[in-house]
Amino acid sequence: MVRLRFQQSLDDLKERLLVMAGMAEQAIQRAIEAFRTRDISICDLVDHGEVAIDRFEREIDQMALDLLAMEQPMAIDLRFILAVIKINADLERVGDAASSISDRVRDLQAFPVVDLPVDIPRMASLAAAMVRKSLHSFLEGDADLARSVLSLDDDVDRLNDSAFFALSNLMKAQPELTPQALNAMMIARNLERVADHATNIAEDVIFWVRGADVRHHVHRSPGSSPPAAD
C-alpha cells in the first residue's frame, strides 16, 4: 500500500462526514420529538444544531476540495470524494428540513392541539430509518444495503400523498383547523424531503462502490450505452 497519507486523508474525510451525519440524524429525531411533545426547548436544540451542521458542511467541502486539488484522485477514490461532496449537501438539507419542522412546531404553539388525519410519527420513523440505513451503507461501503433504501422512498411518498389529501379535505370541512392542518402538511412535506435526501445518499453510495449511476431510475455504468427505450 502506498499513498498512505492520502488514504489517511480519505479516512478522515469519511469520519468527518459520519460525525455530520450523526448530527443531521439527531436533528430530525429532535424535531419530531418537539412536534410530539410541543416542547419549544427542543426546537432551540435543533436550531443550535443547524449552525453546527452548516459549519461541518463548509469544512467537509473544503477538505474534499483540497484533496481534489492536491491529490488528483482517480477511479474509486475520485468517486468516493464526489459522493462525499454530494452526501454532504444532502445532509445539510436534512438539517434544513429539521429546522423547518422546528419552525412549524413553534407556529403550532399558538393553536390548540387537535387530532389530525396524518401519521407524522410513522412518516418520521420511516424517513429516519432511511437516513440511518443509507448512512450505514456509506459506513460499510455496502451497495446492496444502499439499494434496499431506494424502494422505501415510495412508502414515504405514499404517506405524504395521503396526508396531503386528508389534510386538504380537513381544511375544507373544518376551516378553523386550517393553521394546524397547514403546519402538519408542511411537516409531512419536510419528512418526504428527508426521505428523498436519504435516497440520494444511497444512490451516491452505489455510485461510489459500483461506479453505477442509478439516479432517476437510470441503471447504467459510465461508458455503457444508454438503455434502449421500453
Partner 1 sequence: MGAGIQVSGLNASYGSNHTLFDINLNMPANNATALIGPSGCGKSTFVRCLNRMHETNPIATVTGKVLIGELDIYKDLSPVEVRRRVGMVFQRPNPFPTMSIYDNVASGLKLNGFSNRRVLDEVVERSLKDAALFDEVKDDLKKKSGASLSGGQQQRLCIARALAVDPEVLLMDEPASALDPVSTAKIEDLIFQLKSQYTIVIVTHNMQQAARVAENTGFFLNGKMIEFDATHKIFTNPSDKRTEDYITGRFG
Binding residues for partner 1, rule: CB under 8 A, are: 1-3, 6, 72-79, 211, 221-223
CB of 140 to partner 1, least distance (A): 19
The DSSP annotation for 131-194 comes to: HHHHHHHHHHT-HHHHHHHHHHHHHHHHHHHHHHHHHHHHHHH-GGGHHHHHHHHHHHHHHHHH
d(CA 51, CA 107) in angstroms, rounded, equals 21
**Torsion sign over Cα 28, 193, 109, 122:** negative
94 neighbors 57 (Cβ within 8 angstroms): no
Q: Considering the complex, state which of residue 1 and residue 173 has its C-beta at the smaller distance from partner 1.
A: 1
d(CA 123, CA 161) in angstroms, rounded, equals 11
CB of 141 to partner 1, least distance (A): 14
Q: Considering the complex, state which of residue 6 and residue 164 has its C-beta at the smaller distance from partner 1.
A: 6
CB of 204 to partner 1, least distance (A): 14
CB of 8 to partner 1, least distance (A): 13
DSSP code, position 110: T
Q: Considering the complex, state which of residue 56 and residue 80 has its C-beta at the smaller distance from partner 1.
A: 80
- Residue 228's identity, in one-letter code, is A
Q: Considering the complex, state which of residue 75 and residue 110 has its C-beta at the smaller distance from partner 1.
A: 75
Q: Considering the complex, state which of residue 54 and residue 77 has its C-beta at the smaller distance from partner 1.
A: 77
Q: Considering the complex, state which of residue 35 and residue 208 has its C-beta at the smaller distance from partner 1.
A: 208
**Cell match 393553521: residue?**
179
CB of 74 to partner 1, least distance (A): 4
Q: Considering the complex, state which of residue 44 and residue 71 has its C-beta at the smaller distance from partner 1.
A: 71
Nearest to 87, CA basis, from 119, 64, 121: 64
d(CA 205, CA 196) in angstroms, rounded, equals 14
CB of 31 to partner 1, least distance (A): 38
61 neighbors 17 (Cβ within 8 angstroms): no
What lies within 8 Å, CB to CB, of 18 at 6+ separation is 135, 138, 139
CB of 75 to partner 1, least distance (A): 5
